[in-house]
Amino acid sequence: MNKDELAERLRGIGFSCTRCGACCRGTDADENLVMVTPGEIELLGEGTGQSPDRFAEPYPESLATDGGGSLTFEHCLSRTPAGCVFFSQNTCTAYPYRPWICRTYPFMLDGDELAAFPCDGLGREMTRESARDLALLLLRRREAEQAEEKAVALVLSSVRIPEGRRVVVDGRGIRVI
Ligand code: SF4
């Protein structure tokens, strides 16, 4: 699907952000977790001046490995009881450095399938220009996700997973936690 086709599909669904902040406030265990790649963590760290361990943590889902260990893929943004660690006074304090997921919410591309998460902004009129901008972001996000998947596969093929340990893997390597 090219950018123009995607933009037309987005316009058909319609979306305009109402700035309600609901997508940044999710606090249930599996609600609105924002997965971040190493590159996104780096950008957020440089942009906000914060150390990554202040805002990112291993993704909570994991696979069991030999010897009672576990394997976690990637990291996600940490959350406080109020929502995302960067959400304050109903605004994103890391807005210029926010991850792809935030830039493209509530949409995502799974291959060529366009999916939309529940959001009050859906169904609202969208200009051609904003649909094209969003389509471009979605395509770039898919490209970045595919590159990260390849990098993770390369790490997994070249590194031995230590038995009985909890490890997190991303496109830059493996870390025992
Ligand atoms: S990084 Fe910003 S836009 Fe993304 S969930 Fe956190 S507060 Fe919201």
pLDDT digits (tens, 9 = 90+) for 133-176: 999 999 999 999 999 999 999 999 998 888 899 999 999 999 99
Q: Whose CA is nearest to atom 4 of ligand 1?
A: 102
pLDDT digits (tens, 9 = 90+) for 3-45: 999 999 999 999 999 999 989 987 666 677 899 999 999 999 9
Structure tokens that stand for 165 in this block:
């340990």
DSSP state, 171? T
Ligand 1 lined by 36 (C-beta under 6 Å): no
Q: Are 15 and 134 in contact (CB under 8 A)?
A: yes
User: Which ligand 1 atom sits nearest the alpha carbon of residue 94?
Assistant: 2
Query: What confidence score (pLDDT) does residue 158 get?
Result: 93
Predicted TM-score (pTM) of this structure: 0.92
Kindly report the number of other CB atoms within 10 A of residue 122's CB atom: 14
pLDDT digits (tens, 9 = 90+) for 62-117: 999 888 899 999 999 999 988 999 999 989 999 999 999 999 999 999 999 999 99
Q: How many Å apart are CA 147 and CA 163, to the nearest integer?
A: 27
Measured in Å, residue 6 CA sits from the centre of ligand 1 at: 24
Q: Give the list of residues 6+ apart from residue 170 with CB closer than 8 angstroms, or none.
A: 37, 38, 73, 74, 75, 148, 151, 152, 155
Query: What confidence score (pLDDT) does residue 27 get?
Result: 64
pLDDT over threshold 90, residue 50: yes
Q: Across the chain, how many H-helices and E-strands are there?
A: 5, 13
Q: What are phi and psi of 121, to 5 degrees?
A: -80, -15
Instruction: Respond yes or no on whether the N-terminal peptide bond of residue 106 is cis (omega within 30° of 0).
Output: yes
Query: What confidence score (pLDDT) does residue 82 get?
Result: 86
